[in-house]
Amino acid sequence: MSYKSDGEPRLPFPTKKIEVHGRMIEEYIIPEENKAEVLDQMYLFEPVPSLDEERFDLHSGKLFRVRDFRVTREDDHNWLVSPHYEEAGGTMIDWMPAEWATEETDQDREDEFETENDIGDDNRGLVDITKIPEGAEEIALMPVLAKLKKYMKQQGDDLTGLK
């Protein structure tokens, strides 16, 4: 049995074509004066962040201002996404409090791993593990695990058993 969604109505804004992950999608061109209203309508959680709030994109490992959000049209659905969407950024479900980011993210050191000289600082990396709410550990560590898999593959390690 297959399920096909009927989609959802388009937003009342023009779009432009962009390429994301090898396929063409549409991105809405939302005027600055409409951003608060669009965010309020599309953000699924409470409270809705302010446009001036800073958030951390789990997928890209980067900080951004909420006002820089984007909305794409894919598979007959509208998606509220981070400004880093094209470079592995996430949808609004991947927007975490800015406190989850560390100085490592700000210095664009996401691709570096601890060396023997770095041992002793348990908080190095993409996520400050001391600020992860209880029960959200697996979600918060997804970017770290992806980087670890990439590193292990580069080293020729067997990835059997890793999701």
**Span 108-121, pLDDT tens digits:** 444 444 444 444 44
Q: Is 87 part of a structural domain of the chain?
A: yes
Q: Which domain holds residue 122?
A: 15-155
Q: Is pLDDT above 60 for 95?
A: yes
Q: Assign 7 a pLDDT band (cuts: 50, 70, 90).
A: confident
Phi, psi angles (nearest 5°) of residue 28: -70, 145
Residue linked to tokens 């409090």: 97
Q: Is pLDDT above 70 for 133?
A: no
Residue linked to tokens 């880093």: 84
Fill in the DSSP letter of residue 104: H
Q: Is 145 part of a structural domain of the chain?
A: yes
Q: What is the pTM of this model?
A: 0.61
CB 96 within 8 A of CB 56: yes
Give the three-class secondary structure for 38.
helix
Number of domains in the chain: 1
* % of the chain exceeding 90 in pLDDT: 42
Q: Is 4 part of a structural domain of the chain?
A: no
Q: Is 78 part of a structural domain of the chain?
A: yes
Q: Is 161 part of a structural domain of the chain?
A: no
Q: Is 138 part of a structural domain of the chain?
A: yes
Q: Is 7 part of a structural domain of the chain?
A: no
Q: What is the CA 117 to chain-centroid distance, rounded?
A: 30
**Span 17-52, pLDDT tens digits:** 999 888 899 999 999 999 999 999 999 888 999 999
Residue linked to tokens 């890793």: 162
Q: Assign 157 a pLDDT band (cuts: 50, 70, 90).
A: low
Q: Is pLDDT above 90 for 145?
A: no
* % of the chain exceeding 70 in pLDDT: 58
Residues for the chain: how many in total?
163
- Spatial separation of the C-alpha atoms in residues 73 and 11, rounded to whole Å: 9
Q: Strand 54-57 vs strand 15-20: parallel, antiparallel, or unpaired?
A: unpaired
State how far the alpha carbon of 123 is from the alpha carbons of 46, 64, 103, 119, 126, in Å.
29, 21, 10, 10, 9
CA gyration radius, the chain: 18
Q: Is 160 part of a structural domain of the chain?
A: no
Q: Assign 105 a pLDDT band (cuts: 50, 70, 90).
A: very low
Exposure pattern of 128-148 as b/e (b: 16+ CB <10 Å)? bbeebeeeeeeebbbbbeebb
